[in-house]
Structure 1
Amino acid sequence: MAESTGTGVTDGENVPLDDTEMPLADHIEEMIKRLAIVLVVMALVSGVVFPIADDLINFIWYELLPGPMGPGAAKPRVYDPLALILARLKVSSLAGFVIALPLFVFQTYRFMRPGLYPNERRYYLAAVPTSLILAIAGVAFAFYLILPVIFTYFLQYSEGVTTIAFGLTETFGLMTLLMGFFALVFQIPLFVMLAIMMGVPSRAWLASKRLYFWGAFLGLSFLFSPDPTGMAPILVAATMITLFEGTLLLLRWTGSE
């Protein structure tokens, strides 16, 4: 008779169906192939979006830098011949990156599938569309909340002292970088859930090490944010900590370990 497990599922239902030993070299080769698939799809999506990149650039730019700056003041300045091409590549790469995130989750599922229990496979597959939803939410959060706050802050301490003119390369680079970064940051709840589901850490262990995670979040925010004033890194770090702590609170409230 099958012994029952703590999850309420019998051992027969909780045994990996395809768990076989593979040489380390085969594991590395498979991992590289799956990562290559993600990069190729990201490049393909970027290529599809590239022809409409100008429309996306105009939409993003003038939504974040609107008319109150004065007639023509928000118009981007181009200081090198490759600036517009680079801006097109940035916005198309952002679209490719958003699509690549759920594909990355799916490819990790395919890589780990032989060692997963049937119930874990269901949870992991459900994480694929969730990853896309979280990525879009992250981009929207950055676009509608974080970037307007940052540019309002920039304008407030610059007005009355300087003539404001935004260069396309640096300014649009900040826009796309933060939107892409927040698409990744919003994956934190998903990664925490999957890690706990896989039994790597427990909720209690994560909670006990929260200060280390907070420090890591703050360090990553300052490392990858191009804003020397500190405003953007602080907002990014605060968002990461909020998502991390919110996930732990949800797990505690639901009794999930």
Structure 2
Amino acid sequence: MDDRPDEEPDSPAGTDDGEEEPEESVERVDPFAGMGGDDEEPSGDGESDADAGTDADAGDDGSASSEESDESEESDYELAPEVSPDLDGDAGGPAAQEPVQPPSGDADYRPEDATDGEQFQPEPVEDVEAVEEPEPVTPAPEDEFAPSGPSTDEELPLAEHIEEMVYRLAIVVAVAGGVSLLVFPFGEPIINFIWNGVLPASTDARPHLYAPLELVITQFKVASLAGIIVALPVFVYETYVFMRPGLYPHERRYYLAAIPTSLILAFVGVTFAYFIVLPAVMSYFLYYSESVALSALALGSTFDLILLLMGYLALVFQIPLFIMLAVMMNLTTRQWMEDRRLLFWGVFLGVAFLFSPDPTGVAPIIVAATMVGLFEGTLLLLRWTGR
């Protein structure tokens, strides 16, 4: 029996059935099998050339088999599944390790994020189409002076508003004109009463006429002043009636309270001018000019000065009413005005010198001091009432 190793054919041998053997079934051969020719003992001295050729073929076949085995090992290494050890330390094969299946709808899941023994907990998916309902707004408690909305306010065309406004003004003009016509015949007694009350009693300053119609014009001025005084409450009332549909209830109360207050303050201002301001101004005029010339006061110009100062003081005495309304309607605060009192004093002084009919400075100083006194008195009243 021949002890030489089995000779392998140059090409894969066929099976009995005539089918070729697949590449995966190639047996692994020692890569050094064909290189040890000296270690093998020849079976006999009469080795034929065919045997030598057979050994050479076997060596070549062994080399080819080693290359195929290397490629097979690399292929097995690349195709082998990745094995991760279990928590208990046992290595599991590909069949023993079951892949974690991601939940349906989770597109961001990655298998490497999951570990053995850890149960996958999917994050809740928010419904993007859901709309949050707004929280109900709790209405604030009703305040006594909170605006509830005028219930009688109606949208009217501009032409109707203008027509109603003209109608209200016509009523005021009619009242003023009627009173003026009634007072005109009594103009002379009224002129004498005002003239003698303003000028000093020790001075024989009778009025002088320098124009034919000067007395008639002065009587008309006095009658017009009486008509304006009587028509002033009517004007305030008609204004309230015109604005009433658009006023809130608290604004109506403020307005109705301001009407009599304004009339009282106007009367106080006229009285203050008649008894204090006008006598002081007239005494200064007569004293200033008596050493130079004889005073001959004209009826028309002197009465113009008297009427202007009376009307001026009637408006000045409205300052407390304006301040009170501004504070009550939360337009400003007492503390804000107290912090800027010097600014208000400067404004009062400028207004007094700018609009006073007296160029000597006596009347502006008295009027400015009166305005400052009214301002500070109103602030003290607000402090006392706690506003």
1:246 aligns with 2:377: yes
Counterpart contact for 2:319–2:375, Cα < 8 Å: yes
Q: Which amino acid aligns with 1:9?
A: E
Change (3 A) 1:10 1:83: closer
Report the TM-score, using the length of structure 2 for normalisation.
0.57
More moved, 17-26 vs 152-161: 17-26
Q: How far did residue 14 of structure 1 move?
A: 4.3
Report the TM-score, using the length of structure 1 for normalisation.
0.82
Q: 1:46 aligns with which of 176, 180, 186?
A: 180
Q: Which amino acid aligns with 1:236?
A: V
Number of the residue aligned with 2:366:
235
* Contiguous gaps of at least 5 residues in structure 2: 1-137
More moved, 54-63 vs 207-216: 207-216
Q: Among all aligned residue pairs of Structure 1 and Structure 2, give the percentage whose two residues are the same amino acid.
A: 59
Change (3 A) 1:249 1:148: same
1:150 aligns with 2:284: no
1:178 aligns with 2:178: no
- 5 Å-filtered alignment, 1:117-196, equals 117-196=248-327
Q: 2:350 aligns with which of 219, 222, 229?
A: 219
Aligned length in residues: 250
The C-alpha deviation readout for 1:38-62, integer Å capped at 9, x for no partner, is: 3443333222222211111001101
Change (3 A) 1:28 1:201: farther
1:4 aligns with 2:141: yes
Aligned partners of 2:347, 2:157: CA distance in 1, in Å? 34
Q: 2:152 aligns with which of 2, 18, 29?
A: 18
SS of equivalent residue, structure 2 residue 357:
coil
1:98 aligns with 2:235: no
The C-alpha deviation readout for 1:191-233, integer Å capped at 9, x for no partner, is: 3323444444444444455455444433333333221101112
Q: Which amino acid aligns with 2:273?
A: A
Change (3 A) 1:76 1:244: same
Q: Which amino acid aligns with 2:176?
A: M
Number of the residue aligned with 2:199:
65
Higher RCO by CA contacts (8 Å cutoff, separation 6 or greater): 1
* Contiguous gaps of at least 5 residues in structure 1: none
Change (3 A) 1:243 1:41: farther
Please say which structure displays the higher CA radius of gyration. Answer: 2
Aligned partners of 1:28, 1:215: CA distance in 2, in Å? 39
Counterpart contact for 2:164–2:242, Cα < 8 Å: yes
Aligned partners of 1:219, 1:87: CA distance in 2, in Å? 31
SS of equivalent residue, structure 1 residue 89:
helix
**Structure with the higher fraction of residues in helix conformation:** 1
More moved, 154-163 vs 14-23: 14-23
Aligned partners of 2:273, 2:139: CA distance in 1, in Å? 50
Q: How far did residue 158 of structure 1 move?
A: 2.0
Counterpart contact for 1:15–1:117, Cα < 8 Å: yes
Counterpart contact for 1:98–1:183, Cα < 8 Å: no
Change (3 A) 1:56 1:244: same
Number of the residue aligned with 2:220:
89
Q: How far did residue 107 of structure 1 move?
A: 3.2
1:78 aligns with 2:212: no
Aligned partners of 1:166, 1:102: CA distance in 2, in Å? 34
Change (3 A) 1:203 1:45: farther
